[in-house]
Amino acid sequence: MTMKPFSIHFTRQRFFQVLVFSIFISSVTQAADEHDHAAKKEPAAHDDHKDHGHEEYAAKSADQDTHDDHGHEDHADHAARVSPAVLQEFGVVLSKVGPGVLHEEIILPGEIQFNREALAYATPRYNGVLTKINARLADHVEAGQVIATLESTDTLRPFDLKAPIDGTIVNYDVTPGQTVEAGTPLYTIANLSTVWADLRIYQRDMAKIEKGQSVLIDGGHNLKPFRGKIAYIAPTVDEHTRTGLARVIVENHQRDWKPGQFIKGNVAVDEHQAAMIVPRTAVLTHEGAKVVFVQTAEGFEPRPVVLGHSDAQFFEVLSGLKLGETIATKNPISLKAELGKASFGGHEGHAH
């Protein structure tokens, strides 16, 4: 009786062992069959991989061609297309690249003064009372023109005060009824067709400054510079400033230069021949580089340049340009603005 239950338990355990073993064998067999099946299909899979590779290569090639075409379009668009009429409207000036001379310079501060050799005073010949004023401050007068009338305090007869030279009245001190003595300056008249540019020479530069040297007088504020020569060097040093004096006679037919105006003089003390120069006004900064706008078949292209020596007016160009190329030498900033518009499609209507 005691062995019977044990026999039943043993039989059930054995049954489960056989079942687990059967499942294991079935799994191994199925895995082997799937492996054989995959091995038979491997060449086809490889072919699919090869086909996929060709398709990917073709797609990349197409993308590359598209990218190259886009690059060419970008290069073509990297120019400002501006009509001649718009160039004139913007005040853009064109010129050809060529060789030139750069000047090693010393910069001297200075001031515009009256040309005292073209300055005169109108004074009465007799003591008198001012009875009539015919000319006032800033009026232009001619030599011999009556500018005031007085009555002699001795004879009580009227007499005229006349302008001694052609020029502009730059100072006067007259009041109707005023009594004046003979020889009193009533009017100061200046011929402003020329003025003096008086430049102060520091002691360290005195040995380098000579009569006859070329000087560029710059007044700033969009005033066109004047180039002249040193006409006079003072033989003494100012006891207060301890500076010397160099004087340039400046032509002033348009009356642009005003006495009392501060200036600077760029004195050329040496010369340097350059194979290629461009005006300073032609050089701009674009996308972090120094550029010059060059006229091409596609429009005005911002050409990066490498610059060398320079003076107050010009840069030497070491590379980036060719002799004879046409560049914008004045107001190229307008072309830069047009280039910015073009990148947003805003240049339509400006190009012909």
Residues of the chain with pLDDT under 70: 1-77, 342-352
- Fold matches, 84-112+193-342 and 119-190: no
Rounded Cα distance between 311 and 290, Å, is 17
Closest CA to 178 of 121, 128, 124: 128
The per-residue pLDDT for 338 is: 85
Domain range summary for the chain, segments of one domain joined by +: 84-112+193-342, 119-190
Provide the 3-class DSSP secondary structure of residue 315: strand
pLDDT digits over 88-103, tens only? 998 999 999 999 999 8
Q: What percent of the chain has pLDDT over 70?
A: 75
The per-residue pLDDT for 86 is: 87
CATH topology of domain 84-112+193-342: Elongation Factor Tu (Ef-tu); domain 3 (2.40.30)
Q: What is the mean pLDDT of the chain?
A: 82
The per-residue pLDDT for 249 is: 98
User: What class, spelled out in words, does domain 119-190 have in CATH?
Assistant: mainly beta
**For 287, left (φ over 0), alpha (ψ -120 to 50), or beta?**
left
The structure's pTM equals 0.59
The per-residue pLDDT for 344 is: 53
Whole-angstrom CA distances from 206 to 68, 102, 203, 235, 243 are 62, 22, 5, 11, 9
Closest CA to 165 of 120, 195, 196: 120
Cβ-based neighbours of 182, under 8 Å, separated by 6 or more:
123, 124, 125, 126, 127, 128
The per-residue pLDDT for 3 is: 43
Whole-angstrom CA distances from 298 to 49, 208, 286, 304, 327 are 47, 49, 19, 17, 14
Whole-angstrom CA distances from 237 to 154, 229, 231, 234 are 48, 21, 17, 7
Name the residue with tokens 């003096």: 196
Tell me the DSSP string of 174-233.
--TT-EE-TT---EEEE-TTEEEEEEEE-GGGGGG--TT-EEEEE--TTPPPEEEEEEEE
